[in-house]
Each structure stands twice: as structure tokens, then as C-alpha cells.
Amino acid sequence: MSEVHLAGIGDPEPPPVPGVTMGRYVGRSAVAGRPGQALTWLGVDEQTGHRVQVRVVPGTPHPLLRGLIDEHLLRTIAVTEIDAQRYALVSEHHPAGTLDRLLQARERLTLDEIQALALMLARGLTEVHAAGLVHGALDATQVHLTAGGRPVLGGLESVHTSGAEDAIVTMADDVTALGRLLWASLTARPAPARPTQETLRTLAPHAPVTLVDLIGACFEDPPPTAAALARDLSASGDGGALQPVLDPGPATGRATSPTQPRPATAPETGSSVFHRLRGRYRRRGRHTHGNQASPATENAARRSTHPAPASQANDGSAPNNTAPPSTPDTQDLLMAQIRARTGHDRSRARRIKLAKGAGLIAVLSLIGVGGWLGLSSAPAATTPAPTRTPTASPAIAPQPTVAEEQELLSQAGSDDPGAAVRALSRLRVFALSTGDEGLLGKIDAPQGPALAQDKRVLAQLSAQDIEVRGLGIRMLWTNVLEQSDDTARVLVSFVVDKHRQIVTTAPEPASTHLVQAGETRTLVVELVRSGDRWMIYRISDPAAEPTTP
């Protein structure tokens, strides 16, 4: 088995883990509630080619560890017993690093980042506690940052059953630990032995009263449950993505050898791409004329032909306060195309508008509008369900009338969840493309992940002065996977139609981007009953779901 990186002198020998090509040794750390230490390696998933983190943990895994699957938790790919004394926990690897690394460089977070951090971690704890488990080791080293700046809760090897005789940490302790983490992130100093809301207000006078009160509530006896805390935080806003110290690159990447070019990777969100491109416009101020190759294009080609040595790769395993590395090749190529289109004599406002359009395409292709129900950029599942129900009509028009809207809402009350999904899908596409948040409230379940995701999409489109016209989808088939009185899971296959994306920044003329029809996608839609009809609770990509050995 070849290694991604050669082990250093004195590093422990990596154990064989089925399905993983073991790579560089990262280090060791204690595991809460367990004797001994866990050893960590980086590796490559042999099935997907994505980089993974392998933690070799002493003892045996908790029986419920494999079932801890949620967007707010570090995704577990496999749990493999190595021998009677230890097991391997294979999870996704995020090169952006951990919150601990971010705080070492920046000391404190912005208020928007604090809000997002608190909400995401409270939701992660809610999932752990809902399984009857206690996390037991919540601190900044266990909070991982995705490439898009979203925090996810790791350290799941430390979970234990709530109320166990040998347990020394409770669910209430988890909430208090979250409060201490938020205190340190907000004030750049650890929480005192007896933290109070008054002390926090003194240390952070700029923070909203609601946020201070919610953090202070974590230190009450007893504190609120994680679910109650998440609900209260959600009511006060979603916050913003955390900004890693280094340019993180892709969340997962394929391993590359010295003889293979680094694969191109798409930017993670339209908003981050827009701000990055705008900054590069200001810094560089260089343009191309005609078909002349730009410096960015030449640099991208040079890097793809002569990739950096593996020893120079930044995997996010250690703090690094040096300047950010170059951005992925696709961004350089995108910049070259934008500069070629703008020309040397165009105004700066026009150039920024084109950058917005480039960011828009990423928004629509990754998070919901261009992918209709897509929350992931992973490829669509290619194997159709064994039983599937073709839709009656091959195409869905994007804009229903008032009467049609009422009819579609009534169809959402159908006993057939597949029919409900088809009705809700048309309304959802229309709501996202027109910015109708009120209509979304009739489609997405309150406090559900789908509603939070859709609101973020609308906020990004609004912030970038974007209009979407002619957006529609063609439903290929639906398959009801599970159904009960109050919940259902439906597998949906669809294609996004060709549509136009228009950037309308006044007083400049509108910039139009024509997006061709997309590839066939397959997604899982989770429905919940609300009154007399179904509503969308969560949307996930079956191709991105973890597998167990």
C-alpha cells in the first residue's frame, strides 16, 4: 500500500485500515473518559479518492457511534476494529483546520461568526443528546471548519451513554462547555470560575444583549438543553461563515502524485468567491487584451504541469500564520476569463459585476437554486431505485399563478409523499428564484435544515443583486423510501432546465449569464407532517452519505 506522505523518523507505524491508504502521521491526543491516547493519521479513501482523517482510539467503539450522522457533526465514514484493544475511526478531513487553530491566530471571532458557531454547535449537541449520548469533550480542538467556513463538531470517539455509572460528564456539562467555548471566542480570554452575564457584558459591551444572555444561560444551574439553546439561537439569526486563517481550498481532495497534475476544484460558495475575486481585482489591477494569455492562466498552467512537492502541501494539521497559499487553479482560470471579457477600458464597477456573476454560478450550482434541492456538490447517485414512479409531466414550469399555488399546496397534503414532493418542488423553485421568503415558510418545515439553507440562499442572492429568470426543473422519477404517519423519505431524480442569471447592480447595465441545463441529480427529501400537508424538513445527497464496514 503506497503512502501519500512518507512517515517521519520516529513516527509510529500506521496500522492497516481496510479501504484507506494511510498517509502522514499527525500526532496523538487524549480521549476524554478513556485511558491512553488516540493516534491520528491522514489518509486517502480508496473508494472515493478523498482525503480522510484516521483516529486510532484505545478501547472499543460505542455501539451508537456509527449512527451519529448529521450535517452539524464531523462525518464518520467508517468505524473499524483493529484488534481487541483499539479501533480506527475514519472521518472526513477538513484542511481549513480547527477552531483552536483559528483562535490562536485571531484571538477572537466576529459577532456574526459567534452567532454561527453557537448555533451550529448547539445543533450538533442536540443530535448527540437526542441519541441518548453525552459528548464529554467539547472544546476548540474538536470544532472543525469546512472549506466554506461552517463549523462541525468532532471528537465523537469520546461519546458515552448518558447516565452511565462510570460517566463523569453529563448533557448539562456539554452545554456549559459550549458556553465556555463561546465566552473565549467572544472575549479572547477563558471564562472565569464563576462566569456571569454581567461579567460577559462588561468584557463584550459590543455584543447583542440576546447573544450575551444565551451564552450566560449556559452557566446556569441547570443550563438549558442543547435543543432549547439551538431553538433560541435560531430565532436570533444564523450568523455568518467563519473565515479560516489560510485559504482552505477544497473540503476534500484527491491524492496527487508528483507525476499527476492537481485536479481542478470548484469554489465552495458564490459569496466567498465574489469577495475573493473582488479582493484580487483590487490587488492586481491587471487585465488581458484579446486572446493574450493572462498571468493567472500561465500560473495555473505552470502549477498543473509542475505541482508543488508533497512536503510543501498545507493539510491544516498544524497552526500556520504565514501568508495564504495561491487559490485553486479554477479560480485563476475564472479570473482570466473575467478579465478577458471586461477588457482594459471597462469600469471597475463592471468588473465587480462580472465577478458577482461568476460567484452566482457557484451559488446556484452548489446550494439549492441551480441544484433545486441540492445541498451538496457531490456527484449524483447513478444507480436508480429499484421501484420508481415516473412523474405525469416531464417539465415543471417555474412560475405558478395564485390559483395554481393553492392547488399545489393542496397537493402537498396528498397521502402519496412522492406527489407531495413534486408539488412542493415547483413552489420551492419559484420561491428561491423570486426571493419569496413568505412562500418558503409554506414549503419548508419551521426550524428545519432546509428552511435555514434556503434563507441563506436568498440572502446571498439579495446581497449580490441577483435575479434568476426562467428557472425550472424536470422531474424524472420519485421513489418513496420510508413513510409513517408524520414523516417520509423520498428519493427524487431531476434535471435543472436552462435559465438566465442576471446581476442588476445600478446604475450599470444588467449583466446576464445563460446557464445550460444541468446533469441528472438524485437527492433524498425528508418530509414531515404539519397540519394537513407535508413540508420539506431536510434534503441530502445519497452519494455523500457515509458508509460503514
Give the number of other CB atoms < 10 A from CB of residue 1.
10
Identify whether the C-beta of residue 316 lies closer than 8 Å to the C-beta of residue 95: yes
Of all residues in the chain, the percent with pLDDT exceeding 90 is 30
Q: 281: closest CA among 330, 351, 328?
A: 351
**In this structure, what C-alpha cell is assigned to residue 8?**
517521519
Identify whether the C-beta of residue 182 lies closer than 8 Å to the C-beta of residue 114: yes
Spatial separation of the C-alpha atoms in residues 227 and 242, rounded to whole Å: 22
Identify whether the C-beta of residue 476 lies closer than 8 Å to the C-beta of residue 494: yes
For each of the domains in the chain, give its residue range(s) and CATH number, in order of start. Answer: 20-92 (3.30.200.20), 99-235 (1.10.510.10), 270-307+327-359 (no CATH), 372-544 (3.10.450)
Spatial separation of the C-alpha atoms in residues 160 and 143, rounded to whole Å: 18
Spatial separation of the C-alpha atoms in residues 114 and 239, rounded to whole Å: 7
Side-chain half-sphere exposure of 396, counting CA atoms within 13 A: 27
| The pLDDT value given to residue 470 | 54
Spatial separation of the C-alpha atoms in residues 527 and 538, rounded to whole Å: 7
Residue 388: phi, psi to the nearest 5? -140, 150
- One digit per residue, the tens of pLDDT, for the chain of length 549 reads 333 333 344 578 899 999 999 988 888 888 877 788 899 999 999 988 889 999 999 999 999 999 899 999 999 999 999 998 999 999 999 888 899 988 888 878 999 999 999 999 999 999 999 999 999 999 999 999 988 888 999 999 999 998 776 667 899 999 999 999 999 999 999 999 999 999 999 999 999 999 999 999 999 999 999 999 999 999 887 666 776 654 333 333 333 333 333 333 343 444 443 344 344 434 444 443 444 444 444 444 444 444 444 333 344 443 333 333 333 344 444 444 444 444 434 444 444 444 444 444 434 433 343 344 333 333 333 333 334 444 433 334 445 567 777 888 888 888 888 889 888 888 887 777 777 788 888 889 988 888 888 888 777 766 666 665 555 667 777 888 888 888 999 888 777 765 555 555 554 555 555 555 556 777 889 999 988 889 999 988 766 544 333
**In this structure, what C-alpha cell is assigned to residue 129?**
443528546
The H or E element spanning position 390 is strand 389-390
Q: 227-265 burial, b if ≥16 CB within 10 A, otherwise e?
A: bebbbbbbeebbbbbbbbbbbbbbbbbebbeeeeebeeb
Give the number of other CB atoms < 10 A from CB of residue 121.
28
Identify whether the C-beta of residue 476 lies closer than 8 Å to the C-beta of residue 495: yes
CA dihedral 539, 391, 365, 444 (to 10 degrees): -40
Judged by DSSP in three states, 490 sits in strand
Q: 337: closest CA among 325, 355, 353, 361?
A: 355
Give the number of other CB atoms < 10 A from CB of residue 337.
16
Q: Is the dihedral of CA 361, 363, 366, 368 positive or negative?
A: negative
Chain centre distance of CA 310: 26
| The pLDDT value given to residue 305 | 42
Side-chain half-sphere exposure of 526, counting CA atoms within 13 A: 13
In angstroms, the Cα distances linking 525 to 153, 417, 421, 449 are 24, 10, 8, 11
Spatial separation of the C-alpha atoms in residues 209 and 400, rounded to whole Å: 42
State pTM to two decimals.
0.47
In angstroms, the Cα distances linking 522 to 329, 492, 495, 546 are 28, 5, 9, 16
Mean pLDDT for all residues in the chain? 71
Judged by DSSP in three states, 134 sits in strand
Spatial separation of the C-alpha atoms in residues 270 and 366, rounded to whole Å: 8
Spatial separation of the C-alpha atoms in residues 44 and 255, rounded to whole Å: 7
**In this structure, what C-alpha cell is assigned to residue 77?**
465514514
